Homo-oligomer: A and B are copies of this chain.
Amino acid sequence: MANRIRLGMMGGGPDSLIGIVHRIAAYMGERYKLVGGVFTADYDLSKSFAEELELDVSRTYSDIDSFIEGENKLPENERIEVITVATPNFLHYSMAKKLLQAGFNVICEKPVTFSAAEAQELSDLVERTGKTFAVTHTYTGYPMVRQLKTMVAEGVLGKIQKVDAQYYQGWINPFIHEPEKRKQVWRLDPAKSGPSCCIGDIGVHSFNLIEYTCGLKVKQVLSDIDTMYDDNPLDVDGTVLLRFENNVKGVICASQIATGEENSLKIAVYGEKGGLRWEQENPNYLYYLTEDKPLQILKPGHDYNGDFAKESVKLPPGHPEGMFDAMGNIYSGVAKALRGEDYHDGAYPNVTDGVRGMRFIEAVINSTKEGNVWKEI
């Protein structure tokens, strides 16, 4: 196996949940070594965090510009190779852009930008620089999502004729009903969150999951999104009618006011030969429905799965893996790309997924704004 990949981080400091998710994911495959970064805006705090992690503090920088300058002075075989961008959303675009321009590979939290145009700009930059750029659509890292993708690609379902994805959460309910409480939620602030709350935060995961697993592109959307209150600027709920290539239809149902729901992301894909269903909250079960045979439930760790799913599991059947493991699989995919190894299509979500996602969000917003009309993606 090749040398450890030198990893840096923008954000992800002491109080960041997503920071530790990324670090654990990087540890899991034993292919990365965290070296440094800008862990938080407060330089002193950033350095003490580096000490806690027992890193060489000289590799912790005050800001992204000094990071780029400092690292680029180092010999190539010491320099940080890939940087995880885990800062607040509004910084993703500018940081990712600077890093790419300076010759670094990037693992970027979602959303990559606040607009499709910016996302396209990053995409062009990725193409021009030839760098690796991953977007952490974590759910694509689950082994049974990958098995779903494989089975669709192998034609197990035949021609797809209906797609249904749902993403229901309830966490905004306690805040939405009073303007004062809404201020506690940064996702309801357009300056921090971008042009959408519900669709941008979770609806886009459903969209990504659909395109990732089905290999179909959504052509048009017609949405009815809802802010619940006139003085609330961002959507907290929305249903999106989908039209794919080949006249296939589908639907995405997303909500953050589905009170009591935790993180209920589900997908169902139906073709002329059968159906497949998956649910994020029980990620180790893939339901395969046919007309004339018993319902089948595929689980990780079995030989009956395809290679992609098999490579995405560390434990034998019956030993549950979870969301860290899914994120770890994405880091492994990036590691393979960085080291020039073979990897499966979909081993990590890339900048194109980022662009598609931003186009979806914009089309959904505009569809409702213009009176629930069809918009092209």
Interface string of A245-269 (1 = CB under 8 A from B): 0000101010101111111100010
Q: Are A253 and B253 interface neighbours, CB within 8 A?
A: yes
Task: Answer whether residue A295 sits at the interface, using C-beta atoms and an 8 A cutoff.
Answer: yes
Q: Which of the residues B157, B226, B258 comes within 8 Å of A275, measured between beta carbons?
A: B258
- A291 and B253 in contact, given A27-B28, A282-B320 (Cβ under 8 angstroms): no
A251 to B258, CA, bound (A): 13
Q: Of the listed stretches A68-76, A121-129, A296-304, name the one at the interface; the rest are far from the partner chain.
A: A296-304
A101 in contact (CB, < 8 A): no
CB contacts under 8 Å to B, within A98-123, are none
B299 and A297 within 8 A (CB): no
| B3 engages A262 (CB within 8 Å) | no
Q: Give chain A's interface residue range (CB within 8 Å of chain B).
A: 35 or more
Residues of B with C-beta under 8 A to A249: 224, 226, 237, 239
Say whether A317 faces chain B, with CB atoms less than 8 Å apart: yes
Determine the chain B residues whose CB is within 8 A of the CB of A294 once the complex forms.
Answer: 288, 296-299, 302, 304
Residue of chain B at shortest CB distance from A27: B27
Task: Give, as a whole number of angstroms, the nearest-CB distance from A49 to chain B.
Answer: 10
Instruction: List the one stretch of A58-66, A84-92, A169-177, A343-351 in contact with chain B.
Output: A169-177
CB-CB contacts below 8 Å: A263-299 with B: 263-264, 268, 270-275, 280-283, 288-299
Contacts of A241 in B (CB 8 A): 224, 239, 241, 372
Q: How far is the CA of A243 from the CA of B239 in the complex (A)?
A: 12
- Which residues 2-22 in A have Cβ within 8 Å of B in the complex? 3-4, 17, 20-21
- Which stretch from A39-47, A183-191, A322-330, A352-360 is at the chain B interface? A322-330
Contacts of A323 in B (CB 8 A): 315, 319-321
Q: Inside 8 A of A243's CB, which chain B residues have their CB?
A: 224
Cβ of A24 < 8 Å from any Cβ of B?
A: yes
Q: Once the chains are docked, how many angstroms separate the CA of A323 from the CA of B259?
A: 29
Take A239-B241, A294-B298 as given contacts and tell me if A253 and B324 are in contact as well, using a CB distance cutoff of 8 Å: no
Residue from B21, B169, B261, B270 within 8 A of A257 (CB atoms): B270
Q: Say yes or no for A30: interface residue by CB 8 A criterion.
A: yes
A162 within 8 A of B: yes
Q: Are B162 and A257 in contact (CB under 8 A)?
A: yes
Say yes or no: A263 contacts B318, CB within 8 Å: yes
Contact B259 A289 (CB under 8 A): yes
User: Which B residues are in CB contact (< 8 Å) with A166?
Assistant: 164
CB distance from A216 to the nearest CB of B (A): 15
Contact B260 A372 (CB under 8 A): no
Whether A258 contacts B282 by the Cβ 8 Å rule is no
Contact B260 A274 (CB under 8 A): yes
- Which residues of chain B are near A17, meaning CB under 8 Å? 314-316
Closest 8 A/B residue pairs (Cβ): A260-B289, A262-B318, A263-B318, A322-B322, A27-B27, A320-B322, A294-B296, A260-B275
Q: A21-B315, A162-B237, A296-B297 are in contact. List 15 more A-B contacts (CB 8 A).
A: A24-B27, A164-B168, A251-B251, A253-B253, A255-B270, A257-B270, A258-B270, A259-B270, A259-B291, A262-B317, A281-B318, A281-B320, A294-B297, A320-B323, A321-B324
